[in-house]
Amino acid sequence: MTQDKVDQLARDILVRNDRGGYTVPNGRVYPFQWNWDSAFVSLGLAVFDLDRAWREIESLFQGQWEDGFLPHIIFWKEDDARYFPGPGVWGTGRTPPTSGITQPPVAASAVRALWERGEQLRFRPHLERLFPKLLAWHRWFARVRDPLQMGLAVIVHPWESGRDNSPEWDAPAQPIDISRVGPYERRDTSHLDPSMRPTQLDYDRYVALLQFGRALGWDHERIGRESQFRVVDVGTTMILLRANRDLLALAEALGWKEQAQELRRSIARAEEGISSLWDERVGAYCSRDVTSGRSSGMVTSASFLSFYAGVRNDVRDRRLLEHLERIAQRANYLIPSLDPDDPGFDSIRYWRGPVWAVINYLIGSGLIGSGHVQWGERVRADTRKLIEQAGMYEYYCPLTGRGFGGHDFSWTAAMWLQWARDSEPKEMPA
């Protein structure tokens, strides 16, 4: 397929998945608005409709809670037949209905990218309305999910990481009591091959944590203190640091000095605290169980987000690049979500091995921005090949290049338009 045809296919997918102000990830499997999906989708929409791209972010923040919390799903309409757990299961009592957990805060970085595409005079009112909401969400992370005030991000549900069934969560999830979960019917395995999806044990734990949050009335401060699952997620932490940098750039563009100074303090705190996630034994940044204090000891795609976050350490960077070189010898396509040498590696089961275009975008642009252009372009080229050969799938096998999960996937289409299709070096703003 020619590049022009792939371009058109990507645009058609985004238009087809548009529900009038928000975009669903995939019409068949994910029929609602997802938090970080919309942030990535806005980047693809901006290539051909900048107004619509801004509306995508604005519609997402219509689901924000009064305390700054931004949920991971907004249920704009009922559709329990295709998705579990729906709004009735979450029971948050919000209008519009939402879930009770969050997702990695990509939105500020997306808004900066939209702002810097141009027409700033016209879009300044949009930015002025969104900025306080973005800052409120970042403040929520600092207040509720950073108990040690080290600039780190604690997750209380594997879904909050966006990397639902990563092996990083296996050990921290073991204490979760699933004895009172009760019967429920999954919808994902009726649409997709169960071998691609999280296991039943994974889902029982997901539901148990959901029920725990609902029992506490979605009091996030209590959940953060009392949950059986509390993990400092290296991915969310790195994404939040980058998002704070991007929000700082927007504060400076607006001339909002007080907010800019607050963000500088948050960035400095994270730059110091992130060192606690470095696992010298494995030579990578790893997630850490809050309860046990143990590192996951796993090299995942999230480990390489340090380049995207702007975390710089020559010795550690060299060790990460050595991992990347080793992984490139084991996988035909970068970057698998789990080290192929890890015993838990599974090339087609969701976040236990497959390649995801959105994570490749973050890592690849981060590598280019930190001066590792050759590796960044390798990640981009692999992403381009996967999409050209297999189509716009949710994720891909790093060994065969086959596409898996949902097809005609919005964020993959967006990543094609925003990044993967280009053959010349291109990075996110510094």
pLDDT at residue 188, as a whole number: 79
Burial class from Cβ neighbours inside 10 Å (0-12, 13-18, 19+) for residue 193 reads exposed
Q: Would you say 406 and 393 are in contact if contact means Cβ atoms under 8 Å apart?
A: yes
pLDDT at 194 (0 to 100): 81
End-to-end CA distance of the chain: give it in Å, rounded. 34
> How many other CB atoms sit within 10 Å of the CB of residue 415?
30
Mean pLDDT per 10-residue run, the chain (430 residues)?
91 97 92 97 98 98 98 89 88 97 98 95 97 98 96 98 98 97 84 84 97 98 97 98 98 98 98 98 98 97 98 98 98 98 97 98 98 97 97 98 96 98 60
CATH 1.50.10.10 fits 3-420, yes or no: yes
- The per-residue pLDDT for 80 is 64
pLDDT, position 423: 65
C-alpha distances in Å from residue 86, one per residue of 34, 92, 211, 363: 13, 11, 13, 32
Contact 114, 54 (CB under 8 A): yes
The full set of domain ranges for the chain reads 3-420
Q: Which residues are part of the catalytic machinery?
A: 164, 394
How far is it, in rounded angstroms, from Cα 417 to Cα 7? 7
